[in-house]
Amino acid sequence: MKCVGRNKVRAAKKIDTADISQIKLTSNLDFVVDEKHDLAVESTKRNESLLGNGMKSSTDTERLRDWLRNSGKVIKKFFQSTSALFTCDRTDNQCFLPKNVSNDLPLFNSISLAPNLSTSMFDIGHTVGTGSYATVCLAKYKNENYPPMALKVLHKYKIIEEQQVDHVKNERCILQTLNHPFIVGFIDSFQDAINVYLVLEYCCGGEMFSYIRRFGKFNIDVATFYIAQVVLAIGYLHSQGVVFRDLKPENILLDIKGHIRLVDFGFAKIVWDKTYTLCGTHEYLAPEVFLRNGHSHEADWWSVGILIYEFLTGEPPFRASDPFDAYNLALENRIKFPKDFNNSTKDFIKGLLTVNPNRRLGGKNGGNVFEHPFFKGLDWKQMLSKQLVAPLIPKVKDEYDTGNYYNYPDVWESYTVSINSLQQQRYFSDF
């Protein structure tokens, strides 16, 4: 394993799809990974920022307190610049969809599986994703001629150990109420003594993160296409009262035709006022999230601003190896735009990365995201109905192909520690 800077990773951008698996990015450092390196470990590091799963230890909590104490001048300047209390009120005139566009368009066709599901009813294939307490595998339902599925395996012991029970419950409850062209489809859930399982729509195109690593960055047409699909999905979530809270390239998958699906709803939450949990990936966190002032739907629009910047440049605008340095950069809000950015692109990003959530694009007084000149000429109805041809068409043999994912070890069967107490099993009674 060799540590390199972002510029050196950028020099390796002309690689084949098969070579993508050799490059992984952690939350703090860039790595070029050789074939002997454990990609599952590296992926876990990438998906766990210091505060990615909340405050994990007393040391983390102390670091946050020290940072808030030592960054007093910056924070004072931040509050003075808002000139209003930090209230993230939702209003009836907030727009969740473009004008004259309905959500009654192609949706995920839910599949009915047999009652009393078990892993023996599936042929379980390669691992396509992994984290600290979950693994995602390709799965084929044995009893019917159904399309491929993604089986998300969540280890009960680790869920309890990392205090993620509520997040797991939220993910299941929220996913089963959603149905949108650009959000992963929920099929079913079940459990055994060791694991909880979510059966989801499988997307063979892989993570958007892989395509950014492959091409280095996207041109304006590619970026506009995909950010339009993202804002349609985010707008829909907000119309359902859901804040996503973990938007990043790793949580955007491509289907066989190159259209997106938002995945990983572990941090998603139904919020009608404000919530205070510190969670997410540090380079994508809105200021109101890491300052613990309470946040709402506006925090997702900040993450959209980070995402479009990363699409167009290959890296987030407030990048730092230490999360607290990234927070300071976000508060200072100095965005460096490349010379080839046009005015509407810069204005769009500035609007989304406005520190005051009420004045942020998509916020209470920040204007309508869908009507911004950045999207001038875009046919929202055709976009939502998937009538527009996607600019990135995944190379796949068939819908069961896993070649666009990293080569993770197949480890889910190694989860062997069960929870024996009745009280602990009750945590998962509604699965």
Query: Three-class SS of residue 382?
Result: helix
Half-sphere CA count of 236, side-chain side, radius 13 A: 24
Task: Report DSSP letters for 162-185, one per residue.
Answer: TT-HHHHHHHHHHHTT---TTBPP
Stretch (H or E) spanning 201: strand 195-201
Helices (H), 136-240: 156-161, 165-175, 208-215, 220-239
Question: Positive or negative, the Cα torsion across 382, 258, 111, 143?
Answer: positive
User: Could you give the CA distance from residue 101 to residue 271 in angstroms, rounded to a whole number?
Assistant: 24
The answer to the question of whether 45 is labelled as a binding residue is no
According to DSSP, residue 188 is labeled E
Q: Which position among 246, 255, 264, 300 bears the catalytic label?
A: 246
Half-sphere CA count of 226, side-chain side, radius 13 A: 34
Is 328 exposed, middle or buried, given 0-12, 13-18 or 19+ CB atoms closer than 10 A? middle
Q: Is 246 considered catalytic here?
A: yes
Positions marked active-site: 246
- Residues marked as binding for ATP? 152
